[in-house]
Amino acid sequence: MMLEVRGLRAYYGEYQALHGIDFALDEGHIRTLLGANGAGKTTVLRALCGMVRSGGDILFDGRRITGWATEDIVRLGVAHVPEGRGTFLRLSVEENLQLGAMSRRDRTAIAQDIEQVYAQFPRLKERRQQQAGTLSGGEQQMLAVGRALMLRPRLMLLDEPSFGLAPLIVEELFDRLGEVNRERGVAMLIVEQNAALALDLAEHAYLLETGRVVMNGPAAEIGADESVRRAYLGY
């Protein structure tokens, strides 16, 4: 099991946001974290990356990484596409992609990878020298995914990738995510408010409510259960 989380707790100052979360994710698989606003979904991703004070066990390839610095977790092959995309707005598209590979040393391979990202997201190639802040929301999201791919990650954490994007763009985005997973074998943990799309892509889902996992199961089942949908997913 690539990623195992047991009894994860997280704190913002004195306030405890997560009260013992358990889940797991295997190599090459896609799972999703769902739930209402404030349920703690983003906090889980941030805890996985060492961005909040946490307790409990986070095991990556069997190694306990709770309390590790973000920069070191990243070097294990964990790429986080944060809420709001985290784009370097003042830098160019190309520079953003180069930054994605900052922890790598293989220059030629990096150059090749950039071309591969452009192949997958042609619109980025058109804008390669443009300041990233001038890109549209959808393009910035593609850029964020592309930047994550530059790490050659084993695991991608995506925080609300559909946020603020038009439905057509979101569909395209999720198609690409599926491609990336199939072609490159990248595992994904997706936090989403747009439950329908996430359940379509993922094979397993966890429902969070005020810092706890209240339900989990195969995505198809969760999606089919009407009472669950109405109670937790709003549709």
Neighbouring CB atoms inside 10 A of 58's CB total 25
Tell me the C-alpha distance between 106 and 234, whole Å. Answer: 46
33 residue type, one letter: L
CB 198 within 8 A of CB 220: no
Compose the 112-141 pattern: x for residues touching another protein by CB under 8 A, - for all others.
Answer: -------------------x-xxxxx--x-
Min. distance of Cβ 65 from another protein in angstroms?
Answer: 14
Instruction: Using the structure block, give the residue that is written with the tokens 């953003």.
Output: 96
Min. distance of Cβ 222 from another protein in angstroms?
Answer: 29
Min. distance of Cβ 15 from another protein in angstroms?
Answer: 6
The answer to whether residue 100 forms part of the interface with another protein (CB under 8 A) is: yes
Site for another protein in 191-230 (CB under 8 A): none
The answer to whether residue 16 forms part of the interface with another protein (CB under 8 A) is: no
Tokens of 196: 């329908």
Q: Return the range that interacts with another protein (CB under 8 A); candidates 59-67, 76-84, 172-180, 182-190.
A: 76-84
Q: Taking the CA atoms of the chain, what radius of gyration do you get in angstroms?
A: 17
CB 185 within 8 A of CB 27: yes
Instruction: Using the structure block, give the residue that is written with the tokens 């994007």.
Output: 165
Tokens of 16: 């405890």
The answer to whether residue 86 forms part of the interface with another protein (CB under 8 A) is: yes
* Member of 38, 67, 164, 167 binding another protein (CB under 8 A): 164
Question: Which stretches of 36-122 are assigned E, i.e. beta strand?
Answer: 53-60, 63-64, 78-81
Site for another protein in 39-58 (CB under 8 A): 49, 51
Length of the chain as a residue count: 235
Q: What is the DSSP letter of 230?
A: I
Min. distance of Cβ 132 from another protein in angstroms?
Answer: 9
Q: Return the range that interacts with another protein (CB under 8 A); candidates 29-37, 96-104, 184-192, 214-222.
A: 96-104
Interface with another protein (CB under 8 A): 14-15, 49, 51, 69-71, 74-75, 79-80, 82, 86-91, 95, 98-103, 131, 133-137, 140, 147, 151, 164
